[in-house]
Structure 1
Amino acid sequence: MTTVAILPISDANGERIYQAIAGDKRSIGKTAGEALDALTSQLENEEFGSLLVIQDFCPDGFFGAKQQERLSELMNLWRTARDSGQALSPAQQIELDRLVETELKAATARSTGFLQQIIE
């Protein structure tokens, strides 16, 4: 089963939108559901399972407020660079990739904790 993370981010106007991520596939939507729908259209049927847990995206012990803020800043920089045909600096791209990976691991840890609560 593929793990999917849905992150709240800001668009170029500072409005909240959502990015869904599964491995190397990404999508963006005005709502978490829209981002998920766009992502699932990119996945093979066997890649996406039916268990879906949606979190309120508040900072927690897995991914804190400073990390969320920095991820949002870097995503805004990435969109600006993309829209102008540029790329982030290598250091910024590495930092962005690491934060996305950290949030994905955090989402997995949250899900694991949630499943343990259900099983107990």
Structure 2
Amino acid sequence: MTTVAILPVLNTNGEKSYRAIAGDRQSVGRTAGQALDALTALLGETDFSALIVIQSFNPDEFFTVQQQKRLSELMNLWRTARDRGQSLSPKQQAELESLVEAELKAATVRTGVLVQQLN
């Protein structure tokens, strides 16, 4: 089964969009569903099945408000660089990847807590 993380990101105008990530593949959409649909098409999954849990994306003990803000800042820098045909600095790229990984781990922990609550 493919693991997918869907993260909210704010653009420079403060508008929210969503980034769906699976391994080294990513897609963006105005809604979480659009991002997931675009990622599914990108992955070429014709028989895609998943259990989807929608989180409120509020900061918590697993991914803090400071981490959310920095992730949003770095995503905005990444988009600007991409639009100019450039890349982030290696340090910024490593920090961005680390934050994406941290959010994915946080989502995994949240899901585990949810499953325990359901049992």
Q: Percent identity?
A: 65
Flag the structure with more relative contact order, 1 or 2, with Cα contacts below 8 A and sequence separation at least 6. 1
For structure 2, list consecutive stretches of 5 or more residues without a partner in the other structure: none
Q: What secondary structure sits across from 2:61 in the alignment?
A: coil
Counterpart Cα distance in 2 of 1:32 and 1:14: 17
Equivalent residue for 2:100? 100
Q: What secondary structure sits across from 1:20 in the alignment?
A: strand
Counterpart Cα distance in 2 of 1:88 and 1:54: 30
TM-score by length of structure 1 reads 0.91
1:39: how far off?
1.1
Equivalent residue for 1:50? 50
TM-score by length of structure 2 reads 0.92
Equivalent residue for 1:30? 30
1:112: how far off?
1.4
Counterpart Cα distance in 2 of 1:50 and 1:91: 34
1:86: how far off?
0.8
Equivalent residue for 2:116? 116
> How many pairs align?
118
For structure 1, list consecutive stretches of 5 or more residues without a partner in the other structure: none
1:68: how far off?
0.1
1:92: how far off?
0.3
RMSD (Å), alpha carbons = 1.3
Task: Tell me, yes or no, if the aligned pair for 1:12 and 1:80 is still in contact at 8 Å.
Answer: no
